[in-house]
Amino acid sequence: MARAYTSAAAVTACLFFAAVISGCVLQEQPRQIKEESFNYTTYFCPGQECLQAVSAQLQTARLSISCAFYSVDSSLLADTASFSTAAKITLEVVVDKNSKVPEKFIQGSSQGGFVLKRGSRGIMHDKYCVIDGSRIITGSFNPAAAAKNDYNNILIINSTALASFYSSDFQRLKAGDNKKTPTTAAVASKELKQKTAILNKTAVEAYFCPQDGCLEAVKNKLKMANDSIIFAAYSFTHPEIANELILKRSEGIAVSGVIEKSTTGSKYSKHAVLAENGVNVYLETSKRLMHHKFFVVDNRTVITGSFNPTENADTRNDENIIIIENPAVAEEYIAEFHRIYGGSIVTE
């Protein structure tokens, strides 16, 4: 169910950079912004109408809309284009180079479109929007009619801080400069670039892959588990994340997960090794696609976004994750996990 958690204070943002001296080297600390409120809404599909929710959010814009999605429904593009033209709002959309988009919407077409196709080393797999520089939409949902009956989540947060992080990544995508994709050596160095917003008392971290070290961000949160980890993943092939879950299980941590059955036939799938090592892993076997990508650690830390725990997501694709330290948000994702768990699930 959609919920909002707010303080009475108006939203303010202050940007600061802290530096500490380590030996003779001055090191800049991760970027951090503070705001006085945490206002969010969640949607879980198909129980809630995610496509309608995205459309409704876009049509509240007053200044600008910037979205990056692997794929977008043509009718949503048409409706948003009509709205933005009438309201004189800046509209920009980036999609994967192989996404099927009508020619009239493509930038540079005879009709002067607003959609840019992004070429990446892997795929442009992001799922987010920035509205008016003050609100973000993220989660696992591609706003397409074909996905409306699948298991997905949407997270909407009002925050100028987070909007600035996502806007910076959007400009990188829009520039289309693949030279900004890190080299193999840069990926191997596992540099972690953290962008943190403190919204009231809730810490929210944003990462954009592959340049921000999403693998390390996920592993770091899993390593901190003291009680429990649950996860829902469309595809799970990353050996390091699988190993971290197995290690936590060996420490007595309760670890449970749900994986989309259609992805487990690959030799790279970690479903079998997780099950063999005591992780309570289940397969979603209904006609719906289990498209979620989330972890919940110790009933308070939520990791979600476009990032599947796969090596391509870590090193090749354009991806985004958001990490939220808030028990109320965690409670909603835990409830979604149990809704799926109670459906067409089989233990292997």
Per-residue pLDDT of 83-138, as tens digits, reads: 999 999 999 999 999 999 999 999 987 777 999 999 878 999 999 999 999 999 99
Q: Indicate whether 308 belongs to any domain.
A: yes
pLDDT tens profile 209-241 = 888 989 999 999 999 999 999 999 999 999 999
Query: Residue 210 is part of a domain; what is its CATH number?
Result: 3.30.870.10
Q: Indicate whether 21 belongs to any domain.
A: no
Q: Indicate whether 114 belongs to any domain.
A: yes
Please state, in angstroms and rounded to a whole number, the distance separating the CA atoms of residues 8 and 37: 8
Which pTM does this prediction carry?
Answer: 0.87
What integer pLDDT is reported at residue 27 of this predicted model?
Answer: 33
Residue 64 tokens read as 């600008």
Could you give the number of structural domains in the chain?
1
Q: Indicate whether 5 belongs to any domain.
A: no
Q: Indicate whether 6 belongs to any domain.
A: no
Residue 247 tokens read as 């290690």
**pLDDT over 50 (residue 332):** yes
**pLDDT over 70 (residue 163):** yes
Q: Indicate whether 22 belongs to any domain.
A: no
Q: Indicate whether 14 belongs to any domain.
A: no
Burial of 58 (0-12, 13-18, 19+ CB in 10 A): buried
What is the residue range of 332's domain? 30-347
Average pLDDT over residues 180-202: 66
What integer pLDDT is reported at residue 162 of this predicted model?
Answer: 97
Q: What's the pLDDT band for 31 if we cut at 50, 70, 90?
A: low
All residues at 6 or more sequence positions from 11 whose CB lies less than 8 Å from its CB, including other chains: 35, 36, 37, 134, 158, 159, 160
Q: What's the pLDDT band for 13 if we cut at 50, 70, 90?
A: very low
Q: How many CA atoms lie within 13 A of 119 on its CB side?
A: 3
Report the range of poorest mean pLDDT among 17-26, 102-111, 144-153, 311-320: 17-26
Q: Indicate whether 4 belongs to any domain.
A: no
All residues at 6 or more sequence positions from 219 whose CB lies less than 8 Å from its CB, including other chains: 240, 241, 244
